[in-house]
């Protein structure tokens, strides 16, 4: 019998280790993990628990690449003890000898975002065969066909290195099928480096304990381990039962499913309103300390005709986003006609309150906020597994945490609402003043609409004024006034009462040029948000921009107390 150790941190599959692997585990940490049920105390993190199972046969050891910094105490370079080589693969990428390999399965496990191939529909046999015949495939993830609406399964093929491992008995209905050699000992890679003294000691410790000459001692030792971690396992299941008692487990995320009654009680009957906008009304709520005490509960407006399926699809996409400049989604409610989202609470409110209040925020802090927003948008546009176009970037949708870190809110919601809830009269989404010209013409909507909105908002961050100020006559439209000031070499007019900004003319000019590039009439002329972020960081030189309002463009004008849009084409 070989021993399999699986360590999970808050539902994340952190480590899978079999006895005898050249895995750099700390001897102290490993020994403590086997001798106490208080593993969380040894790792200085109150929310850590461990789950250990015993398994016949071995699995390759894997460690995700994106583990938290405090996880570095647990391992120092754990890796699989077998790597495929050129001799295992045919020129076409198929496996030379399929009978050398077999599969080991872990239920309720997944490795999101690292798949390179998909097979649909697929039975478990077809999924195994597809991975077996593919030299690149290290793990196949199979979704249970019985849980699919049409009764067919889906198979995702993964290659090394694996990252972002997930294990959840409630929310994950998938099985991870690990392709392993039938005999690890005979298949060890010749390129595996010689373990360090620390690794050798750890291996000696594991082997001496598990592979001792006394079968009775081994059996007793493993039984004791099983008993200890059975207690841990029961405690974790009890915790999951309490936390996820209402979860339906159909979103493939770690989001919690709330009942409407729970959120009604948490918000005291939706009493304290934090704000309202195109996507619905936000209320302050209070949950357990594990959610940071306070939360923001958003009641969505009437959702699109597709209803529940569209809602769950979008919530799944939102739930898979993780970035420090995005407001974190904690849970949702899709009970009957109710559609609610639960977010982390931002104590400093929106950027609009920060920019347009009585006291002008510091120049340096505004620059940091602009850079953070650009990074968040670049993540949504280019780094998510599913590209997200926000469609309504404006200061009201940028929230600030206790450290004044900018966090984008309401992303991923544009597809959920009926057009009448989007503040416009057609199918247009967004807010006037921040909307790209292509919204008003028969043109494809791309991520460049967010770039345009960011450019308008960047001008607001520079000047600490709104994009439309009806009482300022010729300076009413900020984009036009800002370009006039830049074109006439009078940039200081934009920051007349800001001495800190006036003393930083070089950066002021750089920010102004970035903003003008972002609000170009033609989408193809606007940079990507990744490029914008690099410009703001000083990593890319910003060329002089052309006029963003060519004669054939649509112009935004203020007249008789009203903002209107008109085309200049004769």
Q: Which residues are catalytic?
A: 392
The sign of the CA dihedral 459, 461, 463, 469 is positive
Q: Give me 10's structure tokens.
A: 């808050």
SS3 labels along 45-102: CCCCCCEEEEECCCCCCECCCCCCHHHHHCECCCCCCCCCCHHHECCCCEECCHHHEE
Mark 47-77 as b/e (b = at least 16 C-beta within 10 Å). Answer: ebbbbbeeeeebbbbbbbeebeeebeebbee
* 8 A C-beta contact, residue 457 and residue 384: no
DSSP 433-451: TS--GGGGTT----THHHH
Structure-derived torsion over alpha carbons of residues 428, 433, 436, 441, reported in degrees to the nearest 10 = 50
Tokens of 284: 């302050």
Phi, psi of 346 (to 5 degrees): -105, 110
What Cα–Cα distance (Å) separates residue 181 from each residue in 104, 155, 255? 10, 21, 36
Q: Say whether 16 sits in a helix, a strand or coil.
A: strand
Tell me the CB-side half-sphere exposure of residue 251, using CA atoms within 13 A: 25
- The response to whether 299 counts as a known ligand-binding position is yes
472-507 core/surface letters (b: 16 or more CB in 10 A; e: else): eeebbbbbbbbbebbeeeebeebbeebeebeebeeb
Phi, psi of 367 (to 5 degrees): -65, -40
Q: Which residues pair with 166 in a beta bridge?
A: 12, 110
Distance of CA 61 to the CA centre of its chain: 25
- Cα separations (Å) of 350 from 248, 282, 287, 421, 561? 33, 12, 22, 21, 26
If you write DSSP's letter for every residue of 239-285 in order, what string do you get? HHHHHSTT----SSSSPEEPPHHHHHHHTTTTTSEEEEETTEEEEEE
Q: Which residue in the block uniquely carries the two structure tokens 């977010």?
A: 343
Contact 206, 222 (CB under 8 A): no
Residues ≥6 apart with Cβ < 8 Å to 498: 360, 363, 464
Please report, in range form, the residues annotated as the binding site for ATP.
299
Please report, in range form, the residues annotated as the binding site.
299
């Amino acid at each position: 019998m070989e021993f399999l150790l699986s360590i999970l941190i808050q539902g994340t599959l952190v480590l899978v280790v079999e006895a005898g692997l050249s895995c750099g585990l700390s001897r102290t940490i490993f020994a403590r993990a086997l001798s106490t049920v208080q593993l969380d105390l040894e790792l200085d993190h109150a929310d850590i628990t461990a789950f250990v199972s015993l398994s016949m046969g071995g699995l390759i050891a894997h460690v995700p690449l994106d583990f938290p910094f405090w996880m570095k105490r647990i391992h120092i370079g754990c890796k699989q003890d077998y790597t495929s080589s050129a001799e295992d693969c045919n020129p076409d990428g198929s496996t030379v000898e399929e009978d050398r390999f077999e599969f080991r399965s872990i239920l309720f496990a997944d490795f999101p975002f690292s798949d390179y191939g998909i097979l649909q529909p697929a039975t478990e046999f077809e999924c195994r065969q597809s991975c077996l015949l593919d030299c690149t495939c290290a793990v196949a993830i199979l979704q249970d066909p019985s849980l699919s609406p049409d009764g067919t399964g889906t198979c995702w093929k993964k290659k090394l290195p694996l990252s972002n491992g997930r294990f959840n008995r409630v929310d994950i209905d998938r099985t991870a099928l690990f392709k392993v050699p039938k005999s690890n000992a005979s298949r060890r890679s010749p390129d595996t480096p010689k373990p360090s003294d620390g690794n050798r000691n750890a291996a000696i410790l594991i082997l001496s304990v598990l592979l001792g000459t006394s079968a009775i001692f081994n059996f007793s030792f493993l039984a004791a381990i099983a008993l200890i971690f059975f207690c841990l396992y029961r405690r974790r299941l009890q915790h999951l039962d309490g936390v996820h008692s209402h979860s339906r487990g159909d979103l493939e995320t770690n989001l919690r499913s709330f009942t409407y009654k729970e959120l009604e009680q948490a918000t005291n009957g939706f009493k304290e309103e934090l704000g309202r906008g195109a996507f619905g009304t936000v209320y302050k709520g209070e949950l357990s300390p594990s959610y940071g005490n306070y939360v923001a509960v958003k009641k969505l407006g009437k959702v699109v005709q597709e209803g529940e399926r569209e809602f769950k699809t979008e919530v799944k996409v939102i739930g898979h986003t993780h970035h420090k400049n995005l407001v974190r989604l904690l849970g949702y409610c899709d009970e009957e006609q109710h559609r609610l989202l639960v977010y982390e609470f931002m104590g400093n409110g929106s950027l609009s309150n920060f920019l347009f209040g009585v006291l002008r925020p510091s120049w340096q802090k505004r620059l940091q906020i602009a850079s953070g927003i650009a990074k968040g948008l670049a993540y949504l546009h280019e780094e998510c597994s599913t590209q997200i176009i926000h469609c309504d970037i404006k200061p009201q949708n940028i929230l600030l945490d206790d450290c004044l870190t900018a966090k984008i809110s309401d992303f991923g919601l544009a597809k959920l609402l009926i057009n009448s809830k989007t503040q416009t009269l057609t199918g247009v989404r967004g807010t006037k003043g921040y909307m790209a010209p292509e919204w008003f013409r028969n043109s494809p909507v791309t991520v460049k609409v967010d770039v345009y909105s960011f450019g308008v908002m960047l001008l607001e961050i520079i000047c600490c004024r709104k994009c439309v100020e009806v009482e300022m006559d010729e300076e009413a439209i900020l984009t036009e006034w800002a370009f006039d000031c830049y074109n006439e070499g009078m940039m200081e007019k934009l920051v007349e009462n800001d001495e800190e900004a006036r003393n930083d003319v070089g950066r002021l000019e750089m920010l102004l040029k970035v903003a003008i590039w972002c609000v170009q009439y033609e989408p193809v002329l606007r940079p990507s948000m990744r490029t914008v972020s690099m410009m703001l960081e000083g990593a890319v030189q910003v060329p002089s921009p052309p006029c963003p309002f060519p004669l054939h463009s649509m112009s935004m004008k203020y007249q008789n107390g009203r903002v209107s849009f008109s085309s200049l084409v004769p």
